[in-house]
Structure 1
Amino acid sequence: MNVPILDEAGELFSRYDLLISDVWGVVHDGVLALDPACAALTRFRQGGGAVVLLSNAPGPSEQVAGVIDGKRVPRTAWDRLVTSGDVTKALIAESDARKIYHIGEKADRAVFKGLDVELVGEDEAELVVATELNDYRREVPEDYRPLLTRLAARKLPFICGNPDLVVHVGHDLLPCAGALATLYEELGGIVAWAGKPHRPAYDLALAAAREARGGREIDPEKVLVIGDAVRTDLAGARMMGFDSLFVAGGIHREETIVGGKVDPAGIARVLAGQPAIPVAAMAALA
């Protein structure tokens, strides 16, 4: 496997009209913006391209935009933002359930705003929505096995509002709701995944891109997906028939970065057996 390793993405970007970029691990590290990445996206937009940020963050886009602002990601770096929270709201609205058991932080409850639902205890629930762990800095997914066993035994549908398994917060690697959803499926439960790598998230991203481009249609061959996760970003790009750029210094950095540089052997190991192969890889977007 010979994936080209790039120091700069400008020449690659020139092939595309639309960039669909991951957020956490690409444009910020969970604490502050990654300035070279933001500058690269800004320059692409200045050249006439469109940028849609596609995040598995569980909050609705209007809330997540404020979070991104707080991390000093400039608005010049993106045209539109689509989140797993947006997909979650759509899935809840399409369901018949009105009594919801929520797993996640209180701040995530913005996803229920404007919906005709009631948050209840597990015994009354008709639907489970997991946006995060209740305290992902102190808990691990296995702590939830007894609860998820009870919910799965009742055959309650489960919406995963963040399909990521883990996320870097600075130097810490912390669990996400995707780990709970994976355990729920192992226990026999049925999960609706509200985010990458599943099609509803990309359909919303493409609709946002068309809006940003004045209604013009998008040529799939002119779309590049940028991300740091093989399981979500690269797999989602392949599913949609889009090219992808792998940011190796994100969640796979322990496997792919040696001495601050991309290790081709590490890239090969991470991608071994994967159907989704990126057109190039970088340590960090620049």
Structure 2
Amino acid sequence: MTQIINTFADISSDYDAAFVDLWGCMHNGITAHPAAVKAMQDYRTRGGVVILVTNSPRPWDSVADQILGLGVPDDAWDAIATSGDSARAAMFRGVVGSKIWFMGESPRDDDFFKPLKIIDDPVEIKKVPLEEAEGIVCCGPFDPLADVDVNRPEFLYAKQKGLKLLCANPDIIVDRGDVREWCAGALAALYTEMGGESLYFGKPHPPIYDLARRRLAALGKSPSDPRIIAIGDGIGTDISGALQEDIDSLFISGGLAAAETKTDTTPDPQALSDYLQTEMISPTYTIGHLR
């Protein structure tokens, strides 16, 4: 059974590094959560290392610029591991071919195609119409408010052609302020449901955790798994990924599951228990909001 805590400081001394989610944890898509920012600043002051582990389809530098604009300063984190960087590496290695049909929002997602220096002899990627494509790169829906079923005709055609879909963001939904939006993970799930093949590189899948550990190593840090904690509001991404990686987790119940867990400042214990039982998952700790 999960343990409800009041502040991250209650348990932070048990961990040398934190893999911290961004959206729903550090910010709401519009503005930063000041208490979460301070919690990470305080943790770093005490010697903890903060790796922001995000399913954003953007490169590290683009995410850093974005969150600074939202009010998350660079003294609240040490490094960033993005599903975008993990997926970009796979794309430039040619896992879905060189001619791709791109799903996303331009110009917001254009940074996904920036050169990646760590790949030797990268594949030359060309965006083409679906009829000419060898594969699909999905950073998100064309319209994040539209039902994902609008993509069924294109997906049926793509499946019949045997195209693989590279999913740069496994999240199903996010809340931008008070507005719920669809993410690339919802499209990938639909494509898989229809019989297509989707490739994932963000939470809860191993590639992004490998990247997060490489970020730690680049900082000269190599804590053992029991000294790492994953923090986030996605039960099927942040918490599920932590369990698969055999690391502890802190569930932010006031994010995506705020209604189900009846979280205002703190979750309702019975509602939280019912929710976790329904999801068949148990985070190590739970807190209403990161603070």
- Assess if the C-alpha contact under 8 Å between 1:164 and 1:177 holds in 2: yes
Seen in structure 2, the aligned counterparts of structure 1 residues 255 and 275 have a Cα distance that, compared at 3 Å, is closer
Equivalent residue letter for 1:190: E
- Whether 1:122 aligns to 2:123 is no
Check whether the contact 2:263–2:288 (CA below 8 A) recurs between aligned residues.
no
SS in 1 for 2:210: helix
Ranges in structure 1 where 5+ consecutive residues have no aligned partner: none
1:111 aligns to what?
Answer: 112
2:270 is equivalent to residue 265 of structure 1: yes
List per-residue Cα deviations over 1:165-207 (Å, max 9, x = no partner): 0001001111111000000001110110120000000000011
Residue in structure 1 matched with residue 254 of structure 2 by the alignment: 249
1:168 to 167, 175, 179: 175
Partner of 2:101: 101
Aligned partners of 1:259, 1:275: CA distance in 2, in Å? Answer: 23
> Contact 1:100–1:119 at 8 Å: present in 2 too?
yes
- Contact 1:206 / 1:218 at 8 angstroms: preserved in 2? no
Bigger shift: residues 250-259 or 140-149: 250-259
Deviates more, 1:69-78 or 1:265-274: 265-274
TM-score by length of 2: 0.94
Q: In structure 2, what residue type is equivalent to 1:283? A: G
In structure 1, which of residues 218, 225, 230 is the aligned counterpart of residue 235 of structure 2?
A: 230
CA distance in 2, matches of 1:121, 1:102: 8
> Which deviates further from its counterpart, 258-267 or 202-211?
258-267
TM-score, with normalisation over the residues of structure 1?
A: 0.95
Show the counterpart of 2:35.
36
Task: State the 1:99 CA deviation.
Answer: 0.4
| Cα distance in 2, alignment partners of residues 261 and 13 from structure 1 | 19
Equivalent pair of 1:101/1:127 in contact (CA under 8 Å): yes
Q: Residue 269 of structure 1: CA displacement?
A: 2.2
Query: Is this contact kept in 1: 2:265–2:289, CA < 8 A?
Result: no
Give the residue type in structure 2 aligned to 1:98. Answer: S
Number of equivalent positions = 282
User: Structure 2 matches for 1:118-267, cutoff 5 A?
Assistant: 118-137=126-145, 139-212=146-219, 214=220, 216-267=221-272
Partner SS state of residue 225, structure 1 = strand
Equivalent-residue separation in structure 2 for 1:236 and 1:277 (angstroms): 12
Q: C-alpha separation between the residues in 1 aligned to 2:126 and 2:197?
A: 21
Answer whether contact 1:257 1:283 (CA < 8 A) is retained. no
Work out whether residues 249 and 284 of structure 2, in 8 Å CA contact, stay in contact via their aligned partners in 1: yes
Aligned to 1:279: 284
- Root-mean-square deviation (Å): 1.3
Identity, in percent, stands at 34
**2: distance between equivalents of 1:272 and 1:119?**
44
Report the equivalent of 2:119: none
Unaligned runs of 5+ in 2: 116-121
